[in-house]
Chain A
């Protein structure tokens, strides 16, 4: 069982440039292994781009970045066919989405039309331009960022779109001592330039396949479904977690178990990942806001109250 060593090496590689953000790096790698995409909600300048670039470099994948602006068109994302007068025919110029690792920066600043072009590509892992469907090369990993500060002139992602991200992460500011360390490292050189790939793309695809072999016991499936169900029934929650959310939690738990060198999912995996996977899929009722309760609090209460299966039930 060497998979977890390979994964650990990716994470420690990222850690060379990211200081004090091990858990975020870990989660991003988990999302990548689970073949999902991540939504990062954070203020600018905390190292989002750095992390994605480090991730891309660590796996030897090409890295594309799309800066979303209000005037961005779908063709700017997926690509366009341009008439080549020399060859007398249309030539396809692939857009930035046709890369392995894509950073979609400030996704909420662009129009819904362009947003959905990206999101469709994410969901189907292919783009259609002028009636021609082109598959996006594997592995395909989108990290979209959202700026929580600005609201003027933004188009918040609708719930249905949010559901497509396997998890939503927040980086937050580094600890002062960590920030000093960042300054120290960047004083003379750019460590990102010195990063080398630790595994190949083929190895990564192989890892993605192996994630699916991690055993999810029937009791664990039951536990995931029970958690999802309780979000649907909670009095504070207006919209609960969809079955897609349950699948996402299962897949992420498998990747997390693999990261820890296990070939089976435990309730700890599920409990650890539940906030990252479930929170952005839950819409609270206004009452929750009046009571000053956040989604995280509602979810942690649900997790606390849901019995962890520790015995096989005879009667179902």
Chain B
């Protein structure tokens, strides 16, 4: 390939990339303004850039472009043939009409065809400007930056989805700028031969960008640190409070999020009080449960619920029975927001209120709503009597997987899992629980799984699953960052995948002690305390709450009626990491999983050796400082072999010469900027008392200023150079 062909190939690539960037500008404009015929506009762009590329004389290019625009206008807006006389009259008529409209300043009277024409002119001007940037300025950084900004702004503040676009723009933009730079260097320096340079530049550029794009693609990505503003703005105009776990939508003005279909994403803290609870011990306040996991969130399966009504003070039959041996406790609830339902402590027996109310229990989701005369009403304050449930450890330990076989079909909805659930979730659940025999221990292992293995609690970086991504799978294997919804949903899914019936529970955590009334603490429960957790069903035991979320704890009364030490109970069972034999779902997930595994183990390794790492860093720093301080002693031992392995040619010599200048400068014999090399060489030689520097400099000057690089005795030069370098060390 001759150099000319190479250069024109380079420009072809540059124009091609500019064209791609321009198309990324066009796409959102076309999409957002409901314009059609993207292809025609692209065609026009391609045509323009082609003309600029081949440097077509403007006397030909301009009429061609005008004809093209005219042809498009005629073929889009009329039925007439382009070659007929009618096309002329169409052109004439529209021009007249629009000029009239413009003069009269009736902007709305301007026809579409005229607007299209204006758009074409705009495109024309843009291509002209771009050509100027390419040919004259040889710099497109501004255009690139503007493109990124444009796409980013549109993606953020308009319905346009720039996810693909931004990747294309970034990759193409970097390539484009790199190529332009290569072209500039070649043009300005007349580098001969530049073939090699071009090849290395372009190839390394392509390689670099391909590697970064590839890495970015497979690496796990955190979710947005602030929510997409468009839905945020639209939702904030209709709601005023947020509830953790209620997801992006579904926040009602009544105050409690009902919709959990789309979990994930960041949420904002909100310390608006919801209610005050006067209760002797910290309680979790359960509101309802959900049974169907959709791979994005939770819904309730059975809408035709079995409702049973209760009068106040009457005992209510929930499906978790109150503890028999516990004392009856009473919680006074003072509502600050209007909830037409009851917040329930575990072991609730009855509800009393001064207000007129009928209570109705929905058996499918255990929600107790408050009614008055057929309509739901919020209660201002009420009393809840409860006995905390107790669980016998012995009984819990005796639960076996076989007992699950006797479950009625009623429990099927608590074992439901979406078909799309990636098998690695199941595999993980099976592998971590396979050493446990009792159902309770299996559940406990899953509950504790999150406490290690690299999970962390984070409200702002929780990801939103998009496309086919499963909410639980994403959390377990990719992000490992999230809040209660992530932990609780994951635990439910894992429990179900090993056959233990379980459900997702919504409500509020205990809150903070606000003050004390008659020595009884009053807990303030705010929107921030909105919470979700897990209930698992064990045959012969019943439903039992679990708290997988890091940083939360729900104290459950467990009777240690076993003949074993408590230690044994608490001994954490080593958690098996997911075996590498896991069947990969697809290659992509396999790859990214491999990456996350490597990263995870790397991070663990680092965190286990923090002190050692810090000290070795300090040591290294000290070592390098010392080495730097005394580098005169050893630098020659490094430099001489380093340059000895290189070829004897001009480029090596040039590098060696500049290296020498650098070392001399470190030595304290720096060249002043206005000093010529020969003058400097004389100074250096006078200092060392020989002729080495002058020898080197005269050859360098001859090669550099004179362009005469033949007949150079590189061996001799190397000798002089090594002498000087050694002298600097000595």
Q: Which residues of A contact B (CB under 8 A)?
A: 215, 217, 219-220, 262-268, 271, 303-308, 310-312, 314, 316
Residue from B188, B658, B672, B676 in contact with A266 in the complex, judged by beta carbons closer than 8 Å: B676
30 A-B residue pairs with Cβ-Cβ distance under 8 Å, sorted by A, are: A215-B705, A217-B704, A217-B705, A219-B705, A220-B705, A263-B708, A264-B701, A264-B702, A264-B707, A264-B708, A266-B676, A266-B678, A266-B705, A267-B676, A267-B677, A271-B676, A303-B674, A304-B674, A305-B673, A305-B674, A307-B674, A308-B674, A308-B676, A308-B677, A310-B658, A310-B661, A310-B677, A312-B704, A314-B189, A316-B188
Q: Rank and list the top 5 A-B pairs by shortest CB-CB distance, nearest first.
A: A264-B706, A307-B673, A304-B674, A267-B676, A268-B676
Complex alpha-carbon distance, A264 and B708, angstroms:
9
Q: Is the CB of A308 within 8 A of B673?
A: yes
Question: Which residue of chain B is the closest to A263 with respect to CB atoms?
Answer: B706
- Residues facing A in B667-721 (CB within 8 A) are 672-679, 701-702, 704-708
Find the residue from B188, B658, B706, B707 having the highest chain A CB count within 10 A.
B706
Interface: B30 (CB within 8 A): no
Interface: B185 (CB within 8 A): yes
Question: Which residue of chain B is the closest to A271 with respect to CB atoms?
Answer: B676
Q: Is the CB of B701 within 8 A of A266?
A: yes
Q: Is the CB of A306 within 8 A of B705?
A: no
Complex alpha-carbon distance, A262 and B706, angstroms:
9
Q: Is the CB of A304 within 8 A of B189?
A: no
Residues of B near A267 (CB, < 8 A) are 676-677, 705
Complex alpha-carbon distance, A50 and B708, angstroms:
40
Complex alpha-carbon distance, A249 and B674, angstroms:
17
Residues of A near B706 (CB, < 8 A) are 215, 217, 262-264
Interface size class, chain B: 20 to 34
Other A-B pairs, 19, CB within 8 Å; known A215-B706, A217-B704, A264-B707: A215-B705, A263-B706, A263-B708, A264-B702, A264-B706, A266-B677, A266-B678, A271-B676, A303-B674, A304-B672, A304-B674, A306-B673, A306-B674, A307-B674, A308-B675, A308-B676, A310-B661, A310-B704, A314-B185
Complex alpha-carbon distance, A267 and B677, angstroms:
8
Residues of B near A312 (CB, < 8 A) are 189, 704
Q: Is the CB of B658 within 8 A of A311?
A: yes
Report the minimal beta-carbon distance from A152 to chain B, rounded to whole angstroms.
41
Complex alpha-carbon distance, A316 and B678, angstroms:
25
Report the minimal beta-carbon distance from A264 to chain B, rounded to whole angstroms.
3
Q: Is the CB of A268 within 8 A of B678?
A: yes
Complex alpha-carbon distance, A97 and B645, angstroms:
65
- Residues facing A in B180-212 (CB within 8 A) are 185, 188-189
Complex alpha-carbon distance, A268 and B677, angstroms:
8
Complex alpha-carbon distance, A303 and B675, angstroms:
9
Complex alpha-carbon distance, A67 and B679, angstroms:
42
Complex alpha-carbon distance, A304 and B704, angstroms:
21
Residues of A near B185 (CB, < 8 A) are 314
Residue from A215, A220, A268 in contact with B679 in the complex, judged by beta carbons closer than 8 Å: A268
Complex alpha-carbon distance, A268 and B674, angstroms:
10
Complex alpha-carbon distance, A312 and B190, angstroms:
11
Find the residue from B658, B674, B701, B706 having the highest chain A CB count within 10 A.
B674
Residues of A near B658 (CB, < 8 A) are 310-311
Q: Produce 1/0 per residue, B651-667, CB < 8 A to A.
A: 00000001001000000
Report the minimal beta-carbon distance from A178 to chain B, rounded to whole angstroms.
27
Residues of A near B676 (CB, < 8 A) are 266-268, 271, 308
Complex alpha-carbon distance, A305 and B674, angstroms:
5
Residues of A near B707 (CB, < 8 A) are 215, 217, 264
Question: Which residue of chain A is the closest to B188 with respect to CB atoms?
Answer: A316
Residues of B near A268 (CB, < 8 A) are 676, 678-679
Residues of A near B704 (CB, < 8 A) are 217, 219, 310, 312
Q: Is the CB of B705 within 8 A of A264?
A: yes
Residues of A near B189 (CB, < 8 A) are 312, 314
Complex alpha-carbon distance, A271 and B677, angstroms:
12
Complex alpha-carbon distance, A219 and B185, angstroms:
15
Residues of B near A304 (CB, < 8 A) are 672, 674
Residues of B near A303 (CB, < 8 A) are 674
Question: Which residue of chain B is the closest to A262 with respect to CB atoms?
Answer: B706
Residues of B near A271 (CB, < 8 A) are 676
Find the residue from A271, A310, A314 having the highest chain B CB count within 10 A.
A310
Report the minimal beta-carbon distance from A120 to chain B, rounded to whole angstroms.
36
Report the minimal beta-carbon distance from B321 to chain A, rounded to whole angstroms.
80
Q: Produce 1/0 per residue, B305-329, CB < 8 A to A.
A: 0000000000000000000000000
Report the minimal beta-carbon distance from A85 to chain B, rounded to whole angstroms.
63
Complex alpha-carbon distance, A246 and B471, angstroms:
73
Complex alpha-carbon distance, A178 and B498, angstroms:
113
Question: Which residue of chain B is the closest to A308 with respect to CB atoms?
Answer: B676
Q: Is the CB of B705 within 8 A of A265?
A: yes
Residues of A near B674 (CB, < 8 A) are 303-308
Report the minimal beta-carbon distance from A171 to chain B, rounded to whole angstroms.
26
Complex alpha-carbon distance, A211 and B390, angstroms:
108
Complex alpha-carbon distance, A266 and B679, angstroms:
11
Report the minimal beta-carbon distance from B190 to chain A, rounded to whole angstroms.
8
Complex alpha-carbon distance, A271 and B678, angstroms:
12
Q: Produce 1/0 per residue, B611-626, CB < 8 A to A.
A: 0000000000000000
